[in-house]
Amino acid sequence: MKCKALFRQFFPFIKYCIVGVIGTSIDLFIVYLLVEFFGFNPIVAALFGFLFAVTNNFFLNKFWTFRVASTNYRKLWIKFFLVSSTGLSITLLLMYLFWEIFGIYYLLAKLLTSGIVLIWNFLANKFWTFHIKERFIDIPEKYDFTLSIVIPAFNEENRIKNTLILIDNFLKKNNILGEIIVVSDGSTDRTNTLVRAMTDDIDNLRLVVHKKNKGKGFSVKSGVLVSKGKYILMTDADNSTPIEEYNLLRKKIKTHGVVIGSRYLKNSRVKRKQPSSRIFIGRVGNLLIRFFIIDNILDTQCGFKLFTHHAAKEIFARQKVTRFGFDVEALVIAKSLNYKIVEVPVSWFNSLESRFRPIRDAIQTFFDLIYIKLNLWSGRYR
């Protein structure tokens, strides 16, 4: 039994060696074909041979040696290519050391080099290229709360107290067992002090503190990943969408994984509008989002979104964007995971203390969209 177990552990290395022999044969055949029949320069032919061999070895190792199910071919191939290129560099360095410096017979030097590089390539591909980290979402049989409310906050001493009182009154009035998670994102004012002081009066109020400012998206992710509610609601510290609008979203959550508040539907109620410049930037941005990233959603940026527990955990575990573009990314991930998304018209009041910087944040969000698109193309969110 021990012998069988040992062989089972060693068998992938045997497969890897077989793939290496096949790859070397392809490399030599391509070089011979290009030089002898097509008149290529030997160096150019060697480059083509190397690329063909690497591609062949990549697919054989993915599907046979390591049996990796991931469909993120772009990322895996780049990692495999980097390992192979590094192996080539190690080969040249070791050949120079063994042959030129230590005077070892060149065939023996090549044999030693090949053995070292073979082991390097195998271990690097086993533990890096084809080592896929599985994400296991722990879904409890019984939830501690019906609703988790995540509030990202950065220097919100002027608004957070009133918002927490309103939310607490709403939960009590509607007999909702809920928790409120305030994520203070590097606040330097009295936000943390105020929230801590209110934990005595508000049940299940928690404060998560980031010592440094990491972005609204990072804060929402932090709050979501520690949430324990059956449903998870993200909302803003200024209560720009009144907490009472949760009742509208709740009606849809049983048939959808993601329900988002919208300011741009026919029945939306925008009570206090944004400045014209902000509206213009928002609408242009939304057109770009709908054209290049995700269609059929009129308002991706409203900070009032409701998720099922499972959807929220799966989506935000994959989140990469840490600042304003995170809303779009969350919806892109939700769609890539086949969660149903629906918009619901809500009331909304523009905050006069908004920290959105039109030019700087718009540029940042634009680059976030490019990053999201590349991740989407590469299959990274799956």
Domain membership of residue 152 (yes or no) is yes
Q: From the CA atom positions of the chain, what is the Rg in Å?
A: 28
Domain endpoint, select from 76, 105, 129? 129
Domain membership of residue 139 (yes or no) is no
Asked whether residue 68 falls in the same domain as residue 188, the answer is: no
* 227-266 residues labelled b (16+ CB within 10 A) or e (exposed): bebbbbbbbbbbbbbbbebbebbbebbeebbbbbbbbbee
280-322 tens-digit pLDDT: 556 666 666 766 677 788 888 888 999 999 999 999 999 999 8
pLDDT at site 96 = 86
Two tokens at 271? 């009570």
Nearest CA-CA partner of 296 in 273, 262, 324: 262
Asked whether residue 208 falls in the same domain as residue 246, the answer is: yes
Nearest CA-CA partner of 224 in 294, 318, 290: 318
- DSSP string across 313-381: HHHHHS----STTHHHHHHHHHHHTT--EEEEE-EEE--TT----HHHHHHHHHHHHHHHHHHHHHTTT
pLDDT at site 260 = 95
Domain membership of residue 138 (yes or no) is no
| Helices (runs of H) and strands (runs of E) counted in the chain | 12, 9
Cα–Cα distance for residue pair 108/112, rounded to 1 Å: 6
Domain membership of residue 140 (yes or no) is no
End-to-end CA, the chain? 38
Q: Residue 139: pLDDT above 80?
A: no
Domain endpoint, select from 67, 98, 129? 129
Q: Residue 7: pLDDT above 70?
A: no
Mean pLDDT of the 316-343 span: 91
Asked whether residue 115 falls in the same domain as residue 207, the answer is: no
pLDDT at site 28 = 83
pLDDT at site 165 = 97
pLDDT at site 286 = 66
Q: Write out the residue range of the structural domain in which residue 101 sits.
A: 2-129
146 exposure class (CB count in 10 Å sphere: 0-12, 13-18, 19+): middle
Please state, rounded to an integer, the average pLDDT across all residues of the chain: 85
Domain endpoint, select from 83, 105, 129? 129
Nearest CA-CA partner of 262 in 238, 289, 214, 298: 298
Asked whether residue 229 falls in the same domain as residue 185, the answer is: yes
| Number of domains forming the structure of the chain | 2
Asked whether residue 27 falls in the same domain as residue 91, the answer is: yes
Q: Residue 1: pLDDT above 50?
A: no
Asked whether residue 102 falls in the same domain as residue 232, the answer is: no
Residue 115 pLDDT grade (very low, low, confident, very high; cuts 50, 70, 90): confident
CA distances from 238 to 103, 209, 300 (A): 74, 18, 18
Please, are residues 216 and 323 in contact by the beta-carbon 8 Å criterion? Answer: yes
Asked whether residue 87 falls in the same domain as residue 226, the answer is: no
Nearest CA-CA partner of 356 in 284, 274, 233, 262: 274
Please, are residues 333 and 339 in contact by the beta-carbon 8 Å criterion? Answer: no
Q: What are phi and psi of 86, to 5 degrees?
A: -65, -40
Residue 267 pLDDT grade (very low, low, confident, very high; cuts 50, 70, 90): confident
Please, are residues 167 and 361 in contact by the beta-carbon 8 Å criterion? Answer: no
Please, are residues 357 and 346 in contact by the beta-carbon 8 Å criterion? Answer: no
Residue 213 pLDDT grade (very low, low, confident, very high; cuts 50, 70, 90): very high
Domain membership of residue 137 (yes or no) is no
DSSP strands (E only) in 114-238: 145-153, 178-185, 205-210, 229-234
Residue 225 pLDDT grade (very low, low, confident, very high; cuts 50, 70, 90): very high
CA distances from 165 to 125, 161, 181, 196 (A): 54, 6, 13, 13
Q: Residue 190: pLDDT above 90?
A: yes
pLDDT at site 355 = 58
* pTM, two decimal places: 0.66
Two tokens at 318? 């994959």
Asked whether residue 351 falls in the same domain as residue 271, the answer is: yes
Asked whether residue 110 falls in the same domain as residue 246, the answer is: no
pLDDT at site 126 = 87
Domain membership of residue 106 (yes or no) is yes
Asked whether residue 333 falls in the same domain as residue 199, the answer is: yes
Question: Residue 260's domain is classified under what CATH number?
Answer: 3.90.550.10
Return the top range by mean pLDDT from 71-80, 304-313, 341-350.
304-313
Return the top range by mean pLDDT from 11-15, 90-94, 115-119, 258-262.
258-262
Of 19-23, 142-146, 273-277, which range is least confident? 273-277
Asked whether residue 113 falls in the same domain as residue 180, the answer is: no
Most distant CA pair in the chain, distance:
86
Mean pLDDT of the 154-169 span: 95
- Which residue, chain included where needed, has tokens 């242009």? 284
Domain membership of residue 134 (yes or no) is no
Cα–Cα distance for residue pair 49/306, rounded to 1 Å: 53
Residue 276 pLDDT grade (very low, low, confident, very high; cuts 50, 70, 90): low
Asked whether residue 110 falls in the same domain as residue 255, the answer is: no
pLDDT at site 233 = 98
Q: Residue 12: pLDDT above 60?
A: yes
